[in-house]
Structure 1
Amino acid sequence: MDHSLRERVRSGDPAAFGQLFDEHARTVYRHALRVSGDPSAAEDVISLTFLEAWRIRERVLPGDESLLPWLLGITTNVHRNVARSARRHRAALERLHENDVTPDFSHELVERVADSEELRAVRAALGRLRRTDREIFTLCVWSGLDHAATAQALGVPVGTVRSRLSRARARLRELTAEELRKSRSGTQRRDGTGQVQAGRRSAARSTQETAR
């Protein structure tokens, strides 16, 4: 990236922010979509990310490296706030409608992004990791930042990124395998109405035999 772009962003040049958006908006959106599993939430995150980037533009330091780690660091903070607000909103709705059943479309949305049982299991497992481990994993693995860029994005030492990434990978493998076992076990045992499939098949066979 041209060194002058950092200076122009820092000085508040609108054209520089337009260039910054063109270069990195897609990457920021993909990252937000992967960690949220919700296209609508990802749209909110990308808008808020660039608004926040404009607000704190003077914090950009001189240099010639990419501004992507800085943007993804902002994205991570914005997602935390959006997720926190969403949890509070859901809790408020639940208190108002304690007897209503509100469907959870999170799995459907993940399937829309990638029809993959493994991806659903990974996202569920990610939610069980410690927050810092989860953020380090998604930035390094899903968004492809190196250790130094991830450290810059999160404001932590590079050594922390290395050690926690290794731990997060190992823990994520364990949790993903556990989520897959739970998912497959549940699919085998129950149909969409919550009834045991094996029991229904046996009952059907018994009815057919009796009819004969």
Structure 2
Amino acid sequence: MNPDEAAPVRLLRRRLRAGDPEAYASLFRDHAQRVHRLAAGLCGDRGLAEDVVGETFLAAWKNRSSISDTDDPLVPWLLAIAARQSLNATRGRSRQQRLVTRQGHRLDSTVPDIADSVSSRLDDAELLARTRAALDGLRDPEIEVLALCVWSGVSTRDAARALGVAEGTVRSRLSRARARLRALATSQPPPSPRPLPRSASAVRPLS
């Protein structure tokens, strides 16, 4: 990033950290759609994704004091928050669905299953029918790097900074996630659902 491009980013970071409402509104206008696309892909539900957008920007506002004074783009930081909020929302919806199903009802899905999207991005047609089950076999950190680096096109460097880990860790998680998806997509019988990790509802500051 050259100095002419870096200055506005650094200034925006300072304005956000200071709680400037106009800067926050600008951040929302510029990136709300991208956050919604990521959330819809992870949640498989556009309505639920709208809730995630709100939760994502609320978390960003609450954590604004942790935004560092650097020239790094803010999008990876925002998408990392969105990925975690999406995982939380999906767990909540799953619990709701189990409850309603036990009572003899079924919730309607509002968007197609995300298998098509994941399969095409991994260039493996065999994943088409089994991607949803395969995703259930991944851990949250692996889903996060897939969401950032594969679906959203974030570099491993920027993803590492957004997630607060080493770039090598991101590469390792990404490689493991890809291999795990392919293995789970072709295995018999279908993989068992992954155990739920501790709640990620408290999003740690990311910058």
Fold-level similarity (TM above 0.5): yes
The structure where helix makes up a greater share of residues is 1
Q: Does the 8 A contact of 1:31 with 1:143 survive in 2?
A: yes
**Mapping of 1:49-198 within 5 angstroms?**
49-95=56-102, 97=103, 100-102=104-106, 105=109, 109-110=112-113, 119=128, 121-178=130-187
1:163: Cα distance to partner? 1.2
Deviation at 1:119, TM superposition (A): 5.0
Instruction: Give the counterpart letter for 1:151 in structure 2.
Output: A
Amino acid at match of 2:176: R
Query: Of 44, 49, 70, which residue of structure 1 is paired with 2:51?
Result: 44
Report if the CA contact (8 A) 1:73-1:154 is conserved: yes
Cα deviation, residue 161, structure 1 = 0.7
- In terms of mean alpha carbon deviation, does 7-16 or 164-173 score higher? 164-173
Contact 1:45 1:78 in 2 (8 A): yes
Correspondence 1:4 to 2:7: no
Q: Which moved more, 1:125-134 or 1:20-29?
A: 125-134
1:170 alignment partner AA: A
Displacement of 1:101: 4.3
- Counterpart contact for 1:10–1:57, Cα < 8 Å: yes
For the 8 Å contact 2:56–2:78, the answer to whether it is kept is yes
TM-superposition CA deviations, 1:55-89 (whole Å, max 9, x none): 11111111111111111121122123212322332
Report Cα offsets for 1:161-191 as digits up to 9, x if no partner: 1112112112212333459x98xxxxxxxxx
Q: 1:130 offset after TM fit, Å?
A: 2.1
Report the 3-state secondary structure (helix = DSSP H, G, I; strand = E; otherwise coil) of the residue aligned with 1:61. Answer: coil
Instruction: Give the conservation status (yes or no) of the 8 Å contact 1:137–1:165.
Output: yes
2:100, 2:180 → 1: CA distance?
Answer: 33
Change (3 A) 1:103 1:87: closer
Structure 1 residues 50 and 103, CA, compared in 2 at 3 Å: closer, same or farther?
closer
Q: 3-state DSSP class of the match of 2:130?
A: helix
User: How many angstroms apart in 1 are the aligned matches of 2:92 and 2:187?
Assistant: 29
Unaligned runs of 5+ in 1: 183-212
Between 1 and 2, higher relative CO (CA 8 Å, sep ≥ 6) is seen in: 2
Q: CA RMSD in A?
A: 2.7
For 1:102, the aligned partner's letter is R
Deviation at 1:104? Answer: 5.5
| Cα 1:120–1:14 shift into 2, 3 Å | farther
Structure whose CA Rg is larger: 1
Runs of 4+ residues over 6 Å off in structure 1: none
From 23, 35, 39, give the equivalent of 1:28.
35
Alignment-mate amino acid for residue 109 of structure 1: P
Aligned-residue sequence identity (percent) comes to 43
| 8 A Cα contact 1:110 1:120, kept in partner | no
